[in-house]
A and B are shown apart, each in its own frame.
Chain A
Amino acid sequence: MAVEYDRDSGKLVKFTTLSNIPVKTLYRPEDIKSLDYKRDLGDPGFYPYTRGIFPEMYRKRLWLKSQIACYAHPKETNKAFKKFIASGQTGLRILVDTTTHSSVDPDHPLGRYDISCNGNPTFAITEYREMLADIPLENVDIESACALAGGSFWTYLFLIALMDERGEDISNLRGTNINDPIHAAIVFGCPEFSDDQWELARKVNLDLIEFGAKNTPKWFPCTPCGYDMRDAGINAFQELAFCIGNAIQYYGDAIKKRGVKLDDFRPMVFSQSIEADFFEAVAKFRALRRIWARVAKERLGAITPRSMASRIGARISANSISFPEKPLNNTSRITLQSLAAVMGGAQSIDLAGIDEAFGLPSEEARIFGLDSQHIIAHESSIPLVVDPLGGSYYVESLTDKIEEGTLKLLDEIDSIGGMWECLKTGWLVDQFNKTTISLQKEIDEGQRLIVGVNAFKGDNGPISKALKESAYPVPPAEERKVAITKVKKLREERDQKKLVDALTSMYTAEKDNENVIRAGVEACKAYATVGELVGILRIAHGFPYDHYGILPTPEYLKHLE
């Protein structure tokens, strides 16, 4: 039977960007006639940093090649870290398993399903020693990828405690902490620090910023995270506005209440998602730098130009590559998205695995992610020129459009009273619910085509099948018991008096509304676990010890209740 040939099959179906910005067929000089080079763009390295934050950009310093490399156990993770460093990885991303991430210990009744899932169980300093064995921590770029507020808190404590133990200088701790409790609350629930007024979350957020400014100046203590919010289903305007809105909230509070200055910090770091829409991603990064420069100068009192600059940590949207259909296609998606990050002037890039739909990336998928960046860096000649799309009628016009929409939302956030109020009043949740559903609807109704999923379907061939089989699988149930045995052993072996003394000091500091970071570091050295580090703060505020309402306060801390 003859196959009917339709030359129009596969024609374009959508004429707006991913965030539904209407796009014309052609852009001409009149589309950017109000653009003033010095005012709106500036040369790279100069205010308002639209074109990039360094004059020579990638010629002087390539982006950080940073990928999550955490596996089911700390020892396994340590081995992976070393291997990836040898393959040219320049940043370490620490990610813990879902149980630890939720600030409970492996033997918590609710935690047993998720031990060793999505990362390693690092519930105490003993596990950090294993995970980071033989890897110096001074002047190495470390990203704490613990998105929840509790995780941002104790990851920092453990790193400082480990450096203290090894005799390393903590002022040389380098890297970033997420410490973005509003995004954590909206995306992950974040019950560990939640209460009606979010007072505990706000206090810990500011403690981390204040302690960081004074003691670990090369460490960025709070990096508003657009990535997770975007993946939860919002558009580019919302991602930028909530991210910048959070930065205004946290740093504004720290300036007002803790006596720090924006000039105390290195350029701001924003974590951003790279979505499938190429030009929108590039324009988003450019708009972010311009908006932040003005906010830092005009609203947050930055005086030194470098405090008005912002660095972008870009990560490929997991949503864009988590389909099990024809996963080989993810290689194209990843290439395009990493290219957008480089064209947009990102400072660090984390490429998700091509096997993202099937589990944690296999070792080869991670190396592929690294090599893709090496290919862009060294084979394509793309990084030789700063902001190569600058001046394009389309890209400049799109940058303006994104800025305009973002500023409108920022005004709305201001009128509500800042991002904490947006969270408390439910405005933020409504924003998410609205767009999450409409984005999904577009795919369901075929208004947006995803190759292999709702268009151009086909079978998985041998390469795709192999990809599926080589992804790092969820560890079997027996492996999860390892961490339970370990935490029980730790509890038996540690010096109970030292532990209780250290936790009591933490309790007192928190109760007296002092900065609790130093006391927390000492508690880590006394082998406090994540469950205890969070529980002690909770009882100091009069909340139940266990944020899931299951465990009672341990006997040895009952006297503090």
Chain B
Amino acid sequence: MSANQVKIRVIIGKVGLDPHDRGVIVLSHILREAGIEVIYLGRFQTAESVVKAAIEEDADIIALSDHCGVMPEIAEDVIKESKKQNAGDIPIIAGGFIEEKDIPVLENMGVSGNFGPGTSHKAIVDHIQKLAAKRYG
């Protein structure tokens, strides 16, 4: 199976109390236009609820959004929860307001993308397609 044959499914979640969702609304639209299936869980999720939904929806990728600058803490919890729920193989990408010093921290944790404001849509779509292709081998 190749990424071209199946529709890629992305779960988007905002963990914690950050209410800024203009970014994810726009992102959802862009991804759908690129033929990617998007399930946006809405705001105020927990790490547990995001992973649970990713498993239930058979997501290929978990996308996390945060504008408070605390992505490493959020990602750490989501990764912990993924392992707990035996979903550690689902790749995690992140975007929003991410401090520069946090990018290597996130990369080390296995969180890729780490897109900031102004990122071109093509870069995000390409990244997702590449990750999905890798997943399907």
Kindly identify which residue among A112, A187, A436 contacts B19, using a CB–CB cutoff of 8 Å.
A187
Secondary structure at the A interface, as helix, strand, loop or mixed, is loop
Segment from A261-269, A320-328, A394-402, A533-541 that makes contact with B: A320-328
Whether B70 pairs with A114 at a CB distance below 8 angstroms is yes
Is B68 among interface residues, defined by CB-CB distance under 8 A? yes
Main SS class of interface, B: loop
Give min CB distance, A61 to chain B, whole Å: 35
Which among B15, B21, B26 is the interface contact of A113 at CB below 8 angstroms? Answer: B15
- Whether A323 contacts B44 in the complex (CB less than 8 A), given A118-B68, A436-B22, comes out as no
Q: Give the residues in chain B near A477, CB-CB below 8 Å.
A: 70, 73
Complex Cα spacing A188 to B19, Å: 5
Contact (Cβ within 8 A) A114 B16: yes
Q: How far is the CA of A444 from the CA of B122 in the complex (A)?
A: 10
Instruction: With both chains docked as a complex, state the minimum distance between the C-beta of A436 and any C-beta of chain B, in angstroms.
Output: 6
**Which B residues, 79 to 136, have Cβ-Cβ distances below 8 Å to chain A?**
99-100, 116-118, 120-121
Pairwise interchain contact B17-A110, C-beta atoms closer than 8 A: yes
Q: Counting CB contacts under 8 A, is B36 at the interface? A: no
> Are the C-beta atoms of A113 and B74 separated by less than 8 Å?
yes
Q: Is A437 an interface residue when CB atoms closer than 8 A count as contact?
A: yes
- A246, chain B: closest CB distance, angstroms: 18
The verdict on B29 contacting chain A, using a C-beta distance below 8 Å, is yes
Residue in A101, A109, A233, A474 whose CB lies within 8 Å of B69: A474
Which of the listed residues B17, B18, B21, B69 has the most CB atoms from chain A within 10 Å of its own CB? B17
Q: In whole angstroms, how far apart are the Cα atoms of A357 and B19 in the complex? A: 17
A407 within 8 A of B: no
User: B25 contacts the other chain (Cβ, under 8 Å)?
Assistant: yes
- Contact of A189 with B26 in the complex, beta carbons under 8 Å: no
Q: What are the residues of chain B within 8 A of A99 when measuring CB–CB?
A: 17
Q: How far is the CA of A442 from the CA of B8 in the complex (A)?
A: 26
Size of the chain A interface, CB-CB below 8 angstroms = 40
A50 CB–B CB distance under 8 Å: no
Cβ-neighbour of A437 out of B19, B25, B73, B99 (below 8 A):
B25
- A99 to B18 alpha-carbon distance, docked (Å): 8
**Bound Cα distance from A148 to B121, whole angstroms:** 31
Are A325 and B29 in contact, CB atoms less than 8 angstroms apart?
no
A135 on the B face (CB < 8 A): no
Contact string against B for A residues 531-559, beta-carbon threshold 8 Å, 1 for contact and 0 otherwise: 00000000000000000100000000000
Partner of A548, one of B19, B44, B117: B44
Q: Does the CB pair B18–A358 fall under 8 Å?
A: no
Least CB distance from B99 to A in Å reads: 6
B117's partner among A98, A110, A323 (CB-CB below 8 A) is A323
- Give the nearest-CB partner of A468 in chain B: B100
Tell me which residues across on chain A come within 8 A of B52, comparing CB atoms: none
- Contact between chains at B44 and A433 (CB < 8 Å): no
B-chain residues with CB within 8 Å of residue A101 when the two chains form the complex: 17
**Interface status of A440 (Cβ within 8 A of chain B):** yes
Say whether A324 contacts B17, CB under 8 Å: no
Whole-angstrom CA separation of A233 from B22 in the bound complex: 7
State whether the Cβ of A111 lies closer than 8 Å to any Cβ in chain B: yes
Chain B residues lying within 8 Å of A325, measured Cβ to Cβ, are: 118
Contact of A440 among B17, B26, B66, B73 (CB under 8 A): B26
Within 8 A of B (CB), among A317-337: 322-325
B68, A232: Cβ atoms under 8 Å?
no
A114, A323, A436: the one within 8 Å of B17 (CB): A114
Shortest beta-carbon distance from B29 to chain A in Å = 5
Cβ–Cβ contact A111 & B17, under 8 A: yes
Mark out the residues of chain B between 21 and 73 whose CB falls within 8 Å of any chain A CB in the assembled complex.
21-22, 25-26, 29, 43-44, 46, 66, 68-70, 73
Task: Give the residues in chain B near A233, CB-CB below 8 Å.
Answer: 22, 25-26
A145 to chain B, nearest CB (A): 14
* Alpha-carbon distance A93/B70, docked complex (angstroms): 24
- State the CA gap A104–B44 with chains docked (Å): 12
* Whole-angstrom distance between the Cβ of A317 and the nearest chain B Cβ: 12
On chain B, the residues within 8 Å of A109 by CB distance are 46
Q: How far is the CA of A453 from the CA of B73 in the complex (A)?
A: 29
- Least CB distance from A41 to B in Å reads 36
Contact A433 B15 (CB under 8 A): no
Chain B residues near A102: list those with CB within 8 A.
17, 19
Q: Point out the residues of chain B lying under 8 angstroms from A450, CB to CB.
A: 118
Q: List 6 A-B contacts (CB under 8 A).
A: A113-B66, A117-B68, A117-B70, A233-B26, A357-B116, A357-B117
The residues of A with any CB-CB pair to B shorter than 8 Å are 98-99, 101-102, 104, 109-114, 117-118, 148, 187-189, 191, 231-233, 322-325, 357-359, 433, 436-437, 440, 444, 450, 453, 468, 473-474, 477, 548
A-B pairs, top 8 by smallest CB distance, nearest first, are A474-B69, A113-B16, A188-B19, A117-B68, A102-B17, A323-B118, A113-B70, A440-B26
Where the two chains meet, the residues of B that have a C-beta atom closer than 8 Å to any C-beta of A are 15-19, 21-22, 25-26, 29, 43-44, 46, 66, 68-70, 73-74, 99-100, 116-118, 120-121
**Given A189-B19, A324-B118, A453-B118; 7 other pairs, CB 8 A cutoff:** A114-B70, A188-B19, A191-B44, A232-B22, A233-B22, A358-B99, A444-B120
